[in-house]
A and B are shown apart, each in its own frame.
Chain A
Amino acid sequence: MIDAIGPARLALIVAFSLLGLFFTFVSMTGVIRLPDVYSRAHTASQADTLGAGFTLAAVALAAGWQGVGFKSVLLVFFIFVTNPTAAHAIARAAFEAGIVPWTEGDERR
């Protein structure tokens, strides 16, 4: 499967993996740093979209246009549809439960 990966393609694969790592790291930092459920929902799902997106793009590049590569493209699509839906479900549940979003000056919760 991984027989001949040229240097340019290898560089792209590494770059995409690092970008994926970077955005996942941002997402994690955000979940720890941000003050309330709404702002955490932002970063938990959204930064992660790109984190998973870039990682899967790296996988697709490494695997080539067959089997695994094609499936990872489908996975990206799946994540891009389900991620915002899940984020919306969390935010909506929080809103319906009467949680008022954190604003400047509030305590962290």
Chain B
Amino acid sequence: MADAGEAAPKRGSVVVPVESTPTLRATVTHLVESAADGEFSSIHFVVFATWRRDDPDTADREAAVDRLLERVSTWAEADLADADDVDVDDVEVVTAVVGDDEYLFGADDYVRELAAYADEHGAETVVLDPEYTPVGNTTLLQPLEFALSSTDLAVREAPVTRPTRRERLRKEATGIRFVAIFGLSLAFYLALGDPLYPFDLVSGVASATIVAITLSRISLDADPSLPRTPIRLLRGAVYVPVLLLEILKSNLVVARVILDPRLPIDPTLNRVRVIVGSGLPITTLANSITLTPGTLTVRARDGNLYVHSLIPWAREGLFDGSLERWTRFVFYGREAARLPTPRERDDVGIFQGPDATEEYPGARSDGGTREEGDPVDGSVADADEEVTPE
């Protein structure tokens, strides 16, 4: 992988986030043609890392990304050689991996990384492959284009034709994801019905097929693979009783606070930077935190979880990070579960109340209605307001 050189961006540079899509080849050609027409002097193809550098077992994914980038630069070079009205040395093609120093959770995070990269390399334009969704992350609800509109970068979509839907479906339909989803749906259907009754068998196969066709791309971010998936399921089975116990314990504490008028609540919004991957791991962790009474995940942003806590006890538990360690155990194994607590890592913040350590963050993605300088806590309310809610 070439690093970005010191080429003076007189005609401007362009950043193109890529992943393996059916339209990637055409997108590359479009960019090289634009560059040949004198629009760009250097093209940066970047891939968002779905791992952190210090994660165990990421060699496969890194190798896959390296192969993708290598393919892209080969294509670009071939297109450059084909373009007759351009000097090959005149257009610089750069490939890079960005964001492997932390986990990226959503469009906000991708845009931040992209903007930082563009800034560093003097790029002012972003061209998007029309089929591009970052790292196959189907959990990304907010379109990247929308999030990009909050930056100074000029954004456009490469004008390349998408392949027909039918082709895409057929391509995915052969995948192992299809088989996995089909098998799971059929097993579930037959568990509810009667596996020996022919009508249930036929209707089960029909529904499982429909479910697999429509959901195999959405439900799974990555192919299930043989040693890894069963091991994760087993570790998940270990985690379930631990989580149940945790839920029971917290429920009793919170029930006491709710039922006893003398016990005050002290809710605050907090931030904790968690070290788990995007997609399923972060969902597992956020849901586990929400399931545990007293803590409620409000937002995943910038590698942080914003967690609302009802009582200080729950907040302290959150900052001790036992659920984070368990999630890492489930997804990455025992080795990965040994890490300092978020408090020790100094990865925590309290946004409200007397112990507040940070400014209250406004809503951002929708433009927000909060103004800078809104009161962040109850300091404007009457001081002798009752402390416990009735």
Which residues from B are CB-within-8-Å of A97? 363, 369
Known A-B contacts A103-B267, A103-B352, A108-B389; the reply to A38 vs B291 at CB < 8 A is no
Q: In the assembly, what is the distance between CA of A81 and CA of B298, in Å?
A: 16
Taking a contact as CB atoms under 8 Å apart, the answer to whether A39 and B291 are in contact is no
CB distance from B300 to the nearest CB of A (A): 9
Binding stretch for chain A, among B57-65, B223-231, B247-255: B247-255
Which residues from A are CB-within-8-Å of B376? 100
Mark out the residues of chain A between 80 and 108 whose CB falls within 8 Å of any chain B CB in the assembled complex: 80-81, 83-85, 87-88, 91-92, 94-98, 100-108
B370 proximal to A (CB < 8 A)? yes
CB distance from A98 to the nearest CB of B (A): 4
Which residues from A are CB-within-8-Å of B306? 95
Which residues from A are CB-within-8-Å of B201? none
Q: Interface size of A by Cβ–Cβ distance < 8 Å?
A: 45
Binding stretch for chain A, among B20-28, B112-120, B380-388: B380-388
CB distance from A17 to the nearest CB of B (A): 17
Main secondary structure of the interface of B (DSSP, over half): loop
Taking a contact as CB atoms under 8 Å apart, the answer to whether B259 and A29 are in contact is yes
Taking a contact as CB atoms under 8 Å apart, the answer to whether B377 and A103 are in contact is yes
Mark out the residues of chain B between 235 and 265 whose CB falls within 8 Å of any chain A CB in the assembled complex: 247-248, 251, 254-255, 258-259, 264-265
Which residues from A are CB-within-8-Å of B353? 103-104
A69 proximal to B (CB < 8 A)? no
CB 8 Å contact bits of A7-47 with B (1 = contact, 0 = none): 00000000000000011001001100111101101110111
Which residues from B are CB-within-8-Å of A81? 287
Main secondary structure of the interface of A (DSSP, over half): helix
Which residues from A are CB-within-8-Å of B308? 38-39, 42, 91, 101
B304 proximal to A (CB < 8 A)? no
B286 proximal to A (CB < 8 A)? yes
Which residues from A are CB-within-8-Å of B390? 33
B84 proximal to A (CB < 8 A)? no
Q: In the assembly, what is the distance between CA of A85 and CA of B363, in Å?
A: 20
CB distance from B370 to the nearest CB of A (A): 5
Taking a contact as CB atoms under 8 Å apart, the answer to whether B255 and A38 are in contact is no
Mark out the residues of chain B between 275 and 297 whose CB falls within 8 Å of any chain A CB in the assembled complex: 286-288, 290-294, 296-297
Known A-B contacts A81-B287, A104-B266, A105-B378; the reply to A92 vs B254 at CB < 8 A is no
Which residues from B are CB-within-8-Å of A70? 191
CB distance from B60 to the nearest CB of A (A): 28
Taking a contact as CB atoms under 8 Å apart, the answer to whether B265 and A98 are in contact is no
Q: In the assembly, what is the distance between CA of A7 and CA of B162, in Å?
A: 67
Q: In the assembly, what is the distance between CA of A94 and CA of B264, in Å?
A: 23
CB distance from A86 to the nearest CB of B (A): 9
Taking a contact as CB atoms under 8 Å apart, the answer to whether A47 and B293 are in contact is yes
Interface centre among A41, A70, A88, A94 (most CB of B within 10 A): A88
Which residues from A are CB-within-8-Å of B259? 26, 29
Which residues from B are CB-within-8-Å of A88? 286-287, 290, 296-298
Q: In the assembly, what is the distance between CA of A46 and CA of B251, in Å?
A: 8
B310 proximal to A (CB < 8 A)? yes
A52 proximal to B (CB < 8 A)? no
Taking a contact as CB atoms under 8 Å apart, the answer to whether B287 and A39 are in contact is no
**Nearest 8 CB-CB pairings of A with B:** A84-B290, A105-B378, A106-B378, A84-B287, A46-B293, A98-B369, A26-B255, A30-B258
